[in-house]
Structure 1
């Protein structure tokens, strides 16, 4: 009886707060319904999905041909500069809207569990930030996405074994060659045995040239018998 009363009071308080500070969709700005988190159902429906999870030889997987052995690769949606969906990635990375990462991570995971290509994955591993950058930002957006995926895929997320050994400059304004040089050989494993014989699902927010993901995959593949697949929220 008391718990029911507490829930009712909590619900009334939430309604009161939402009256003055309504939860809005971080994509379109419309007010969210109670069952919606960060992004409204209409925007989730309108996100330009790639359906790469249904194609083995898709544009993301082709990025890595001749560079590093990747089992499968996919991205949830197409990243277009200036679109309302670009705002979601920007707010996730720079405005502490981790709820966006959790929600989109869940959506990405729903895609992957409906694909035969990812059904033997053992472990989810987000692309790591250098500790200095993570301290400044306060969180790793790839880890946030991975945590959303974990809820759906029921897989462990490992954030400690793969690490970035060098604090590098942002990749955003670099050319393809500069991006590769910026991350070449900077990712390492603390213990290779932890990934031995495992199929690792490597996670990041956006794939552009694939340089960072390539460098991470090369480090993971140092573990004997390991395999790497890749999934990102967006493909640019």
Structure 2
């Protein structure tokens, strides 16, 4: 009887407050999560995982830091579906979206690439403790956790830290972004990445300055190689 009442209340709540697609805001159907089927099919996938060593992808790091490969799940365009997803993740408390969508990407990587063989550890780009307290979570860690479960690769949150608060990168150019982040990260527990292939995980890659700063510290700490996986990449 208690189970029946709980189920009835849940159905009633769904009727009054239906779960909505984060893309089009229509009600989600049975077996639909985060996005309706139409929106999920329309996700602007990059397919970068099929050519993750391409020079045009790695050019942003050329001459700065050696990055083994780079792959992003979808393209980010202003006002588009992916921006709605990222906005929900970062500013509306929808951390479960980060993990779910990252799981979709991890499943795709397992089916369509061999990149899993080149990753020993996943590490999300860390937040400063003040930003973490403000947001309540680090979206990059939740993305890394989604990838971790799909790829069966460990996710470490105790290696890379943000030791100094950095200003928002949104309105800065490449040089300003680098100056803003070049000294904010450090490595603790470096033994966890000794001679390991590390994949840095983040939500969106733009100029790559933040990831570059993380990569420098990880390589200095003795990891074997650094690669990059992100949910989104700004469409050039």
Q: By the TM > 0.5 criterion, same fold?
A: yes
Name the counterpart of 2:229.
231
Q: Give the alignment of 1:102-181 within 5 angstroms.
A: 102-113=99-110, 114-181=112-179
Does the CA-based 8 Å contact 1:60-1:235 persist in structure 2? no
Q: CA deviation at 1:191?
A: 2.4
Match of 2:47 among 46, 51, 55: 51
Distance in 1 (CA, whole Å) between partners of 2:197 and 2:6 is 43
Distance in 2 (CA, whole Å) between partners of 1:96 and 1:78 is 22
Classify 1:165/1:31 alpha carbon distance in 2 versus 1 (closer, same or farther; 3 Å): same
Does the CA-based 8 Å contact 1:126-1:142 persist in structure 2? yes
Other structure's SS at 1:205 match: strand
Name the counterpart of 2:66.
69
Q: Give the alignment of 1:157-236 within 5 angstroms.
A: 157-236=155-234
RMSD (Å), alpha carbons: 1.6
Other structure's SS at 1:107 match: helix
Does the CA-based 8 Å contact 1:37-1:99 persist in structure 2? no
Other structure's SS at 1:167 match: coil
Q: CA deviation at 1:9?
A: 4.5
Distance in 1 (CA, whole Å) between partners of 2:125 and 2:10 is 36
Give unmatched runs, 5+ long, in structure 1.
none
Deviations 1:91-121 (A, max 9, x none): 1101101121112111221232231233231
Q: TM-score, with normalisation over the residues of structure 2? A: 0.93
Name the counterpart of 1:41.
37
Distance in 1 (CA, whole Å) between partners of 2:147 and 2:223 is 24
Classify 1:37/1:201 alpha carbon distance in 2 versus 1 (closer, same or farther; 3 Å): same
Name the counterpart of 1:24.
20
Does the CA-based 8 Å contact 2:166-2:181 persist in structure 1? yes
Other structure's SS at 2:220 match: coil
Name the counterpart of 1:100.
97
Distance in 2 (CA, whole Å) between partners of 1:107 and 1:100 is 11
Q: CA deviation at 1:44?
A: 1.5
Name the counterpart of 2:87.
90
Distance in 1 (CA, whole Å) between partners of 2:72 and 2:208 is 12
Distance in 2 (CA, whole Å) between partners of 1:52 and 1:120 is 15
Give unmatched runs, 5+ long, in structure 2.
none
Compare 8-17 and 142-151 and name the one that shifted more: 8-17
Aligned length: 232
Q: CA deviation at 1:33?
A: 1.7
Distance in 2 (CA, whole Å) between partners of 1:9 and 1:36 is 24
